[in-house]
Chain A
Amino acid sequence: MSAVQGWVDTFRAEAQRLPGAKLPWLAGARARAIERFAALGWPTNKLEKWRHTSLALLAQQEFAVPPVDRVDLAAGALAQLRQGAEAGHWLVFIDGQFAPGLSDIGTLPAGACVDSLAGALAQRPERLEAVYGDAEEGESPAALNLALAGDGAYIELARGVAIEAPIHLVFVGGVSKGTQLVRNFIVADDGAQVTVVEHYIGRDDATSFTNTVTRVRAGRDARVTHLKLQQESAQAFHLAALDAVQARGAYFASHSLAFGARLARNDISSRLEGEGGEALLNGLYHVDGKRHVDHYTRLDHNSPRCTSRELYRGILDGTGRGVFTGRIYVAPGAVKTDAEQRSDSLLLSAGAESDARPELEIYNDDVKCAHGSTVGQIDETGLFYLRSRGLDEQHARNLLVYAFAAEVLARIGERSLRSSAAAAIRARIPGGQLLEALA
Chain B
Amino acid sequence: MLKIKDLHVSVEGRKILDGLDLEVPSGEVHAIMGPNGSGKSTLAQVLAGREGFEVSGAVEWDGVDLLSLPAEERARRGLFLAFQYPVEIPGVSNAYFLRSAVNAVRRYRGEKELDAMDFLKRVKAEMQTVGMSEEFLYRSVNEGFSGGEKKRNEVLQMALLEPKLAILDETDSGLDIDALRIVADGVNRLRSPERSMIVITHYQRLLDYIVPDRVHVLSRGRIVRSGDRELALELEKRGYGWLEEERRKEPRGVGQR
Contacts and interface: CB of A to CB of B under 8 A. Distances in A.
Contact of B96 (A385, A393, A439): A439
B255 to A, nearest CB: 31
A158 interface: no
Interface of B: 45, 48-52, 70-72, 74-76, 80-81, 83, 86-87, 89-93, 95-97, 99-101, 104-105, 108, 116, 138, 140, 157, 161
20 contacts: A379-B87, A384-B49, A384-B50, A386-B97, A388-B75, A389-B97, A389-B101, A389-B157, A390-B105, A390-B108, A391-B72, A395-B104, A399-B92, A402-B92, A403-B91, A403-B92, A406-B90, A407-B91, A437-B116, A438-B93
Given A389-B157, A390-B76, A437 B70 contact: no
| 8 interchain residue pairs of minimum CB distance | A406-B91, A403-B91, A389-B101, A390-B104, A387-B71, A385-B87, A390-B75, A387-B72
Contacts of B52: 380
A84 B47 CA distance: 47
Secondary structure type dominating chain A contacts: helix
A388 B93 contact: no
Nearest to A409: B91
A406 B104 CA distance: 23
Nearest to A410: B91
A382 interface: yes
Given A390-B108, A391-B101, A395-B100, A384 B71 contact: yes
Contacts of A379: 87
A439 B93 contact: yes
A390 B161 contact: yes
Contacts of A380: 51-52
A400 B49 CA distance: 19
A410 B93 CA distance: 12
A148 interface: no
Nearest to A439: B93
A437 to B, nearest CB: 7
Contacts of B81: 388
A55 to B, nearest CB: 34
A388 B91 contact: no
B92 A438 contact: yes
A419 to B, nearest CB: 14
Nearest to A438: B96
Contact of B90 (A386, A389, A407, A439): A407
A384 to B, nearest CB: 5
